[in-house]
Structure 1
């Protein structure tokens, strides 16, 4: 056992393998400027994908994006004074850094934590990010656009480091790039750090902004984008994904620490695993065997029986190659292969049809969706599903795409269990195991969510 503490609070023993509590959340996703708006969007079964490029995108003229996408409004807006940054420096700072400063602050507010109280503590920051669009814009303007602020303004590592600097945090501070799985891998690394006692609190998540047309071009040339501009996850019309953008942050503590601090607990991360495909038909071809392995290791690490899981938030990009492999792996580990009954299939779905594929931030979008679903005990619909891809025998695999609003329950008061998957194009796979939180006794009761 090790001890971890936040300054001014009593130390609490941490036990290797104990659940990690999600005590705060923030997000900025297409059509959803915060967690409650995100829940409303998902609950209503609406899509925020459109063919409108928002204003304030000088590097992304309207005719440069030929297919629908999920965009944020006002990514050019920022209050530098609030964060102690001069206007001159702010102009040199990647909007991804600026957005994550805002989301880190909002996540702490959501958790009821005064940011100043963390100064000097071993709080960690783990963020996923994969694009450098703002650096490309800066360099397009030549030497006259470069100042002494540029090196920090466009360096991806500073997305995490600037948060640690602002808040005076002494814990680990790093940016993860494992391609599209980056933000979920960042959350898994944060959970491991908390369990080891490397930090007593962690801010984890990811960000991805689409600021230049080249990002759309490379995805199109790769053959990943849907020609129709719609994501058809697990559907017979699946022909690619739609790009999206945004960012999200969760505030994490060990369960014992969260209970000692009297935090509101939105859900628990019971365990997880990361691996790599380790070679396949080509560098970017997914591996069913590797996906099965990461699922088995995640549920073994969490101490959870796969057949007890109610739903999985898919990676679910809507590609004709990736979807059948993901379905087969799920069927082998959590579906028919686990002995799951035919009348109780594993519910699956993806948020990507609603907001687009957020790439470096895709995992955190799926995680926050799943946390909201287990908290509210309601599974929101996965959009654009009509009939299954012929290569995905849902009944045989004991899977069902959840395309309607559905109540979630668990037998005999058992934890409500869920999974979240995120896969990177280079083969780095991540799966996390979640559950709801029910206080074991009145003495462990968490505060009312509406309390200030």
Structure 2
């Protein structure tokens, strides 16, 4: 294993269905808890949208998703955001700020240390449900009282601000971007963060992914494309797969060169190696995965970083769910901390 350009994970934060922080998430994993459940009526009325017949237009043939409790509550003033502006901010911005805060606390990294630093932010995101909700206010019959807050709507709904908001709140001066490569968005975001550190664009990188589900519209188009699981469960890499189940949440990692992290006596979770490629036209149709390209990617990452495959502890990949996968292949290898 080549440690010269090794990237260390020095802080983590997250909130997911059934877990409002990383400690609760570890518990969830340990006990094998499944928090993909029937969509509650305070999100939307399943009875009005459900039909078991996948050919029924305007209907969903699935009723399940992984959703967080108390999803619309947050401490906006912790991040210097007024109550008026907070009302116009996408939940995905809120989740990201909270998870970045958790990750910094986990890594023992202070705001003072970060302010003015060459730290980049790379967040993956493909949903914009909040924008759909907000734009409904501007249709015929809009409540005039809401117009006074409209000046926050642009920054509140733009996905580019998911990452930019973090840079602004913490005064970070490295590149800041939100990446959409569909299901692989967070993986590609972390890959770009690793690359930026190796290129000396950043001393550290805050990376991750975020998703919020508020309305059934996306479910409708995914059901029409037969991408959703009728059982409401993901069975990636299994012959039981009949589609996938959607979920929401946010996960953030803080990355730094291993050499620097050791010098600064950081809390090191693991070393991470990443790789990325595209399928091009090696598989058909455009939604089909390419076995050839996925194998090529694994081979490239192993050889580029001189990795002993027996030392790999964890592999994260963009899983195939039978009917669809984004053509952007991404692989991340996490190696045991004891190796360094």
- TM-score with structure 1 setting the length: 0.67
Offset at 1:139? 1.0
Report the Cα distance in structure 1 between the residues aligned to 2:118 and 2:237, rounded to whole angstroms: 42
Structure 2: which 5+ residue stretches go unaligned?
51-61
Quick one: which of 103, 106, 112 aligns to 1:110? 106
Q: CA deviation at 1:85?
A: 1.1
Q: Is the 8 A contact 2:184 2:328 kept in 1?
A: yes
Deviates more, 1:286-295 or 1:18-27: 286-295
1:259 is aligned, of 239, 262, 270, to: 262
| Cα RMSD after superposing both structures | 2.1
User: 1:312: how far off?
Assistant: 3.4
Which residue, out of 142, 151, 155, partners 2:158? 155
Aligned-residue offset at 1:226: 1.2
What is the aligned partner in structure 2 of residue 325 from structure 1?
A: none
Shift in Å, 1:237:
2.4
Distance change in 2, residues 1:54/1:435 (3 Å): farther
CA deviations on 1:80-124 (whole Å, 9 max, x unpaired) are 221111111111110100111111111100101112321111111
For 1:434, which of 331, 334, 338 is the aligned residue? 334
Tell whether 2:175 aligns with 1:172.
Answer: yes
Q: TM-score, normalised by structure 2?
A: 0.88
In structure 2, how many angstroms separate the alpha carbons of the residues matched to 1:297 and 1:178?
Answer: 21
Match of 1:95 in 2: 91
Matched, 1:246 2:249: yes
Q: Does 1:19 align with 2:15?
A: no
1:309 positional shift: 4.0
Offset at residue 127 of structure 1 (A): 0.4
Other-structure match for 2:208: 205
For residues 334 and 313 of structure 2, the distance between their equivalents in structure 1, rounded to whole angstroms, comes to 10
Q: Is the 8 A contact 1:127 1:174 kept in 2?
A: yes
Structure-2 separation of matches of 1:301 and 1:53: 47
For 1:172 and 1:233, the matched residues in 2 are separated by 33
Distance in 1 of aligned mates of 2:243 and 2:113: 45
The answer to whether the 8 A contact 1:16-1:196 is kept is no
Separation in 1, partners of 2:45, 2:264: 49
Quick one: higher RCO (CA 8 Å, sep 6+), 1 or 2? 2
Give 1:43's aligned residue. 30
Deviation at 1:62, TM superposition (A): 4.7
Q: Give the corresponding residue for 1:125.
A: 121
